[in-house]
Amino acid sequence: MDNKLFSLFKSIIDSDSAPVVICDTEHTVVYMNPASVSRYKTDLTGKSIMLCHNEDSCRKINEVISRFTESSEHNMVYTSRNDKENKDVYMVALRDGDGKLIGYYEKHEMRNREMSKLYSYNN
């Protein structure tokens, strides 16, 4: 991937207000966007995501990765609901051009209705 395209993708992830934590298949955090560092109050880049999960959560993460590995059609799993923040959380497979699993990330889907006026500028 050329640097310009990489910069564009990174900019998209960095501007997202939802946390994005990207891991490789060995569960090493390869990137956290600013929203995730703020939310989790630490930067885990270069560390195992398993260090901040309990035994049951680690088991579930491994089960999801096994499922993702079974088929290139297995790409997203609903993992939790947070009623306090009105959001759903998913694990999403990341694949190379041949469909091989190369990692995964956590996707947060906020369910609150947008209250801003259409085409208004927040800053």
pLDDT in tens, 21-79: 999 999 999 999 999 999 999 999 999 999 999 999 999 999 999 999 999 999 999 99
Residue 115: pLDDT over 90: no
Predicted pLDDT of residue 123: 56
Domain ranges of the chain: 3-110
Predicted pLDDT of residue 8: 95
* DSSP classification of residue 48: B
**Domain covering 3-110 in this structure, CATH number:** 3.30.450.20
Tell me what percent of the chain is helix, strand and coil, each rounded to the nearest 5. Answer: 35, 30, 40
pLDDT band at 120 (very low <50, low <70, confident <90, very high): confident
Predicted pLDDT of residue 117: 85
